[in-house]
Amino acid sequence: MALVRLVYVSRATKLFQPSSIKSLLATARRNNQNHQVTGLLCFNQHCFLQCLEGPRDKVNETFHRILSDPRHSHVEIVHFEYIEKREYVQWNMGYLQDNASIRALIQKHSQQEVFNPYELSVTATLGILRDVRDDIYHAMVDASS
Ligand code: FAD
């Protein structure tokens, strides 16, 4: 089965408490592990930016479930491609919330002060996702050493 990567943006329809994000991530990670889906989720209390990668049918099934989730709206696909290998192989759903680190990455790639993934170019979007991946990875390595 062909491997694909899909990136979308959306707007939160409600205020997310840390516990709501925790439960969303727990469900995402459980389902994604069962379906060989990997990826990354960025969130700043207003907007989501998510990358899903894996077998094409599983990524589509997952995306259809996500699309009908009332916790967000204005879902827009910003990137879709067939891939040879995964970029987020370590994570069934890595997560980065808004903090100084993500703000610095956004500034670097887009000159934006506030994270608004709807306004980003594809190059900036993919650049942010890759840098976020490296940031989380380094934080994990630092924490375990
Ligand atoms: P359950 O978790 O048991 O949920 C059952 C139903 O209740 C679903 O229809 C769900 O949408 C709804 N629901 C659950 N909690 C709430 C709540 N607090 N408020 C309103 N409705 C609720 N799922 C994945 O599998 N992989 C992902 O990567 C993923 N990423 C997501 C990213 C975002 C930004 C959002 C908003 C959701 C994401 N989800 C993801 C969740 C997805 O939308 C579905 O809720 C989930 O896949 C359903 O899993 P489940 O069938 O095991 O149902």
Q: For 7-32, what is each residue's pLDDT tens digit?
A: 999 999 988 888 899 999 999 999 99
Q: Which of 20, 21, 27 to mutate to test the pocket of ligand 1 (most atoms within 8 A of CB)?
A: 27
Query: How far does residue 20's CA lie from ligand 1's centre (Å)?
Result: 11
Task: Find the radius of gyration of the CA atoms of the chain.
Answer: 14
Nearest to 1 by CA among 69, 40, 58: 58
pTM for this prediction: 0.89
Query: How far does residue 145's CA lie from ligand 1's centre (Å)?
Result: 34
Say what the pLDDT of residue 53 is: 97
Q: For 118-129, what is each residue's pLDDT tens digit?
A: 988 999 899 988
- Residues 35-63, mean pLDDT to the nearest whole number: 94
Cα(66)–Cα(68) distance, integer angstroms:
6
Q: State yes or no: pLDDT of 141 exceeds 70.
A: no
